[in-house]
Amino acid sequence: MSDRNVPIIPLEVLFGNPEKNSPLLSPDGKLLAFLAPEECVMNIWLQDVRGEGARSVTHDRGRGIHQYWWAYDNKHLLYPQDVNGDENWRLHALDIETGIDRDLTPFEGAQAHLAAASHRFPGEVLVAINNRDPHLFDIHRLNLASGELTLEVENTEGMINWVADRSMRVRAGQAPTQDGGTELRVRDTAGDDWRTMITWGPEDEGGPCGWTEDGRCLYIADNRGSNTLEMRLLDALTGEMKTLASNPELDTVVPVIRESDGKLQAAGFCKHKLEWMVLDPDIAEDFELLAQAQPGQFRIIIRDLEDRQWIVLYDRDVVPPAFFLYDRPSKKLDFLFVTRPALEGYTLAEMRPLEIKSRDGLTLHCYLTLPPKAEEKGLPVVLNVHGGPWFRDRWGYDPEAQWLANRGYACLQVNFRGSTGFGRKFLTASYREWGGKMHDDLIDAVNWVIEQGIADPKRVAIYGGSYGGYAALVGAAFTPDVFKCAVDIVGPSNLHTFLSSIPPYWEPVRKLMDVRVGRLKGDEEFLASRSPLFKADQIRCPMLIAQGANDPRVKQAESEQIVSTLREKGKPVEYMLFEDEGHGFVRPENRLKFYAAAERFLAEYL
């Protein structure tokens, strides 16, 4: 379907493993780690910072390693690993000198998360584990050499978020309140009682970001008294607060805090592209140089402890992401690698930012990616709905947008109400609007591209994962005249069963879900009215539904109950179940199998 002058990009190039990804400097700046395939599975590799002697240091043969961190001892690499997508993460430590790889949290059915690390205590980290109570995470101090775990804080406060100070003492936490809000609690020492400093209501947002070097003040994101999240400084002794960075239209989303001394140096805002507000003159020249050095938007990934070397990521729409090593003393920027060099020989499509008005007057920040060299008229369109829903689409390289455009479809992405980064009013406009006004926003954007003549109204598909999968089911069931076909990946079909089966560690935010989605007890009819399962008889378009068998967030039953109902009613539905996946498809062979099926499905019906 793509223009004959635009070569087809193989699925392996778009959705197979990247050649390299996620580079991280060791704290002393001498070594560079990165992720790359070993026997087709993503593993951690290690080399000299200037590129000599690259070798794999982990040897996973399952779903691969996709996140990792350096310990401050420059000796251990830490990474989480689950089993086939069950999200029961265990923390592993690899000794780069001996090659010994240890599971440091071998607790069956529990999750472990890295909670804090400090260069002052290079041989230790703090780990949050829910092995005592699956609903709550306690903080443990972990000795990396011995593997010994010592209980640091038992979670008697119901905390959902912990923040240690610069001396690795847990002195702040965030706990849910009965009305669906949260409160910030602090203490002066490990032996003191907790005291409440801030209370956020259910229509507020906020949370702690880190302590200052002296342990007196906290950086917090806070939108009380404002429409947008601002970066503020809270004096934990006096309660005095001042705003450090703000934008009247956009939330402060990316604080840049220097690890060596805990100083907030910059804050990022993102309307379409990431933009920086520099707060510390010490890095002003660096940020100005980096902004001009390469096209696109940039982000600092990591810095060594002496703050002499930075790894910088550059991202834009028509090339794969690229990483550079920036040497501050010499102001020199050296190229490291692009994630997918095989893409560089292909024509990629421009992602166009749009601002579309919803029927009730909200501004929807959207992106339209059109097939290269195609006439911008009467095109088949795939509405690609993001998950979350408290997430957002951004401008930049997007493999699904490029895949669709390369195959001849216009890809429409909509930051519908509730998408993050656009302030309080935009967020609260989504409360209790799953399948309601959140869906109206999607339809309004589709109508806009039809009115512009870009879209063929008879060839529109809806596609998405997680909340986006739910939106695809809603689109097919609630607005059956709009969509020619629909693709649902791990999407809830019945809000009541979805909310009834959330994992135990989500229970502390149950009240927030009550406010934002609906109550299990008291809103039964309302939840049913917003559940595609109960309007399956209205579905007329063909559907492709894909599910991971081990998904702890959206259980397998969410897909299978609507597949069963559709088949009973004689509706056209194709179902793909991946036995070794969870909430999304990580193994490259599964990704490629799914995208090949989705490509065939879209081609057949669009």
Catalytic residue numbers, as ranges: 466, 551, 583
> How many residues does this entry show for the chain?
606
Strand partners, 114: 127
Two tokens, residue 151: 């209980």
For β-strands 379-385 and 149-153, DSSP reports them as: unpaired
* CA pair distance 486, 329, nearest whole angstrom: 53
Residue 398 phi, psi dihedral angles, 5° rounding: -135, 110
* CA pair distance 540, 432, nearest whole angstrom: 26
Q: Residue 339 has what DSSP assignment?
A: S
Cα 10 to chain centroid, rounded: 26
Q: Residue 193 has what DSSP assignment?
A: P
Q: What angle (nearest 5°) sits at the alpha carbon of residue 576, between those of residues 564 and 412?
A: 100
Helix, strand or coil, per DSSP, at residue 38: strand
Of 299, 320, 296, 314, the C-alpha closest to 15 is: 320
Q: In sequence order, what are the residues at sequence separation of 6 or more whose Cβ sits closer than 8 angstroms to the Cβ of residue 523? A: none
* CA pair distance 33, 22, nearest whole angstrom: 8
Determine what percent of the chain falls in helix, strand and coil, rounding each to the nearest 5.
20, 35, 45
* CA pair distance 7, 407, nearest whole angstrom: 10
Cα 323 to chain centroid, rounded: 20
Two tokens, residue 417: 């109400």
Strand partners, 230: 222
Tally of CA atoms within 13 A in the half-sphere of 563 that contains its CB:
19
Other CB atoms within 10 A of residue 583 CB: 20
* CA pair distance 587, 606, nearest whole angstrom: 28
Find the helix or strand (DSSP H, E) in which 564 lies: helix 556-568
* CA pair distance 390, 392, nearest whole angstrom: 7
User: Would you say 206 and 222 are in contact if contact means Cβ atoms under 8 Å apart?
Assistant: yes
Max Cα-Cα span within the chain: 70
User: Would you say 220 and 209 are in contact if contact means Cβ atoms under 8 Å apart?
Assistant: yes
